Amino acid sequence: MIKLYNKASQTLIGEITPDQLKTLVDYYEEESQTDQDYWINQGDLGFLEEQGADEQLLSLLKAALGDAEDMDIEWKNA
């Protein structure tokens, strides 16, 4: 499994599958091959939902964002 964290606080957001990670990698721009963080916002979540992203992934990201407009997340192999 892959663990997602709030990059600023290093708080664990939850675990995702390799397929869910692929969704994030495909959608978000990576600055390098070692880039493992993404800036997400409320608009992104709406777009991902429209594109048919996995419900569990969307729920996890929505819960992590809460009322915040945006945040940096990072993933790490468990």
Q: What is the pTM of this model?
A: 0.88
| DSSP letter, residue 33 | T
pLDDT of 35: 79
Cβ atoms < 10 Å from Cβ of 40: 20
CA–CA dist 45, 24 (Å, integer): 11
Question: pLDDT above 90 covers what percent of the chain?
Answer: 82
pLDDT in tens, 26-64: 888 767 777 799 999 999 999 999 989 999 999 999 999
> How many domains is the chain partitioned into structurally?
1
CA-to-CA distance for 16 and 67, rounded, in angstroms? 22
- What is residue 55's predicted lDDT score, i.e. its pLDDT? 95
How confident is the model at residue 63, as a pLDDT?
96
**Residue 49's pLDDT is what?**
93
Q: Whole domain around residue 22: which residue ranges?
A: 2-77
Pairing of β 37-41 and β 70-77: antiparallel
